[in-house]
Amino acid sequence: EAAIIRRFLAEKEATIRRSLYQALLRLAYTVDGQRTLLRIWEGRWAAFDLPLSEGDYIDLACEMALRNMPGSDTILTATLVRTQNPDRRRRFEFLLPALSPEQAVRDACFEQLKQPQNRAREPWVASALGYLHHPLRGDASIPYLAPSLDLIEEIQQTGDIFFPAAWLQNTLGSYALPEAATIVRDFLQRRSDLSPNLRNKVLQAADGLFRAEKTGAGEEVDG
């Protein structure tokens, strides 16, 4: 029993450390925080005494790229080179355009996602959308919202049963801008013929956005 308890406590402690690391990854926006991310990537700081996997280093490089940290292009390239798992490497290569600091490259990436043949790896697509619509890119990615919503019926027809929800969540889930809420409302009004199933998925994905709009504007939200 004592051994079981010790193992349970060790696993619980590891889970807490992992949660703290994930919070650091999401919230390190200050200069000091970004330096910490770089030290972790360079192996000069043990991240809460956690062993980092190949996937962890990819996620870390992606977060640094989103922040446009100095040398982030070099970091992405170096991380790609040292990625040994072939499938993980292909996924990383797929995501790189969505991480680019160049608007034109990200625009081209989004245009590629409009084509069904480029959406075959749906989890990869969901991750790319999350990066394209990351809060740090919110203003620049607003133009993607209306076309993304217009694609939702095609997404349902060509993708897995769970893909429409993933597409919508990774498109709408990080926004709190009134302009984004207006785009969603306009879409729902314009597409009154949308199936109840898809309409509910849009409303669910936009729930946080509508709540932010209501809090900011002090007006009642009409779902």
**pLDDT (tens digit, 0 to 9) for every residue of the chain, 223 residues total?**
445 445 645 566 778 888 888 888 888 888 998 999 999 999 888 777 888 899 999 999 999 999 999 899 999 999 999 999 999 999 999 999 999 999 999 999 999 999 999 999 999 999 999 999 999 887 899 999 999 999 999 999 998 999 999 999 999 999 999 999 999 999 999 999 999 999 999 999 999 999 988 876 434 433 3
**Do residues 183 and 142 make contact, with C-beta atoms less than 8 angstroms apart?**
yes
- Cβ atoms within 10 Å, residue 21: 18
Q: Quote the pLDDT of residue 219.
A: 44
Question: CA-CA distance, 39 to 32, in Å (whole number)?
Answer: 11
Question: CA-CA distance, 46 to 43, in Å (whole number)?
Answer: 7
Question: CA-CA distance, 153 to 140, in Å (whole number)?
Answer: 25
Q: Quote the pLDDT of residue 80.
A: 97
CA atoms within 13 A on the CB side of 67: 23
Kindly give, in sequence order, each residue whose CB lies less than 8 Å from that of residue 142, ignoring residues fewer than 6 positions away: 177, 179, 180, 183
Tokens 């199936």 belong to residue: 195
- What the block records as the tokens of 209 is 């956005």
Instruction: Please state the pTM of the whole predicted model.
Output: 0.86
Task: Please report the beta strands in the chain, taking only residues with DSSP state E, as ranges in sequence order.
Answer: none
Among candidate residues 194, 195, 188, 185, the one with its CA nearest the CA of residue 217? 185
Q: Which residues of 181-203 are buried (b: 16+ CB within 10 A; e: fewer)?
A: bebbbebbeebeebeeebbebbe
Among candidate residues 113, 48, 41, the one with its CA nearest the CA of residue 74? 41
